[in-house]
Amino acid sequence: MKSFNRVTGIAAPMDRANVDTDMIIPKQFLKSIKRTGFGKNLFDELRYLDEGQPDQECTGRPLNQEFALNQARYQGASVLLARKNFGCGSSREHAPWALDDYGFRCVIAPSFADIFYNNCFKNGLLPLVLSEAEVDQLFSELYANEGYELTIDLPSQKVLTPSGAAFSFEVDEFRKHCLLNGLDDIALTLEQADAINAYESKQRESAPWLFDAVKN
Partner 1 sequence: MTAKTLYDKLWDAHLVQQRDDGSALIYIDRHIVHEVTSPQAFAGLRIAGRKPWRVDSILATPDHNVPTTIKERASGVSGIEDPVSLIQVQTLDDNCDEYGIVEYKINDLRQGIVHVVGPESGACLPGMTIVCGDSHTATNGALGALAHGIGTSEVEHVLATQCLVAKKMGNMRIDVNGKLGEGVTPKDVVLAIIGKIGTAGGTGYAVEFAGDVFRDMSMEGRMTVCNMAIEAGARAGMVAVDDTTIEYVKGRPYAPTGENWEKAVTAWRELTSDEGAHFDAVVELNGADILPQVSWGTSPDMVADINATVPAPADEPDAVKREGMLRALEYMGLEAGQKIADIKLDRVFIGSCTNSRIEDIRAAALVVKGRQKSSSVKQAMVVPGSGVVKAQAEAEGLDKIFVAAGFEWREPGCSMCLAMNADKLGAGEHCASTSNRNFEGRQGYGGRTHLVSPAMAAAAAIAGHFVDVRDFVRS
Task: List residues binding partner 1 (CB under 8 A).
Answer: 1, 31, 33-36, 184-187, 189-190, 192, 195-196, 199-200, 203, 207-216
The least distance separating partner 1 from the CB of residue 41, rounded to whole angstroms, comes to 16
Question: Is 70 in a helix, a strand, or coil?
Answer: helix
DSSP E strands in the chain: the ranges are 6-14, 79-82, 106-109, 126-129, 149-153, 158-160, 166-168
The least distance separating partner 1 from the CB of residue 191, rounded to whole angstroms, comes to 10
Q: How far apart are the first and last CA of the chain?
A: 32
How far is residue 50 from each of residues 6, 46, 47, 57, 102, measured CA to CA in Å? 37, 10, 9, 13, 20
**Residue (60 or 208) nearer to partner 1, CB:** 208
The least distance separating partner 1 from the CB of residue 89, rounded to whole angstroms, comes to 21
**Residue (136 or 172) nearer to partner 1, CB:** 172
Question: Is 207 in a helix, a strand, or coil?
Answer: coil
The least distance separating partner 1 from the CB of residue 124, rounded to whole angstroms, comes to 9
**Residue (16 or 202) nearer to partner 1, CB:** 202
Do residues 52 and 44 lie in contact, with contact meaning Cβ atoms separated by under 8 Å?
Answer: yes
Closest to 120 in 3D by CA, of 97, 138, 102: 97
**Residue (97 or 167) nearer to partner 1, CB:** 97
**Residue (165 or 180) nearer to partner 1, CB:** 180
The least distance separating partner 1 from the CB of residue 99, rounded to whole angstroms, comes to 13
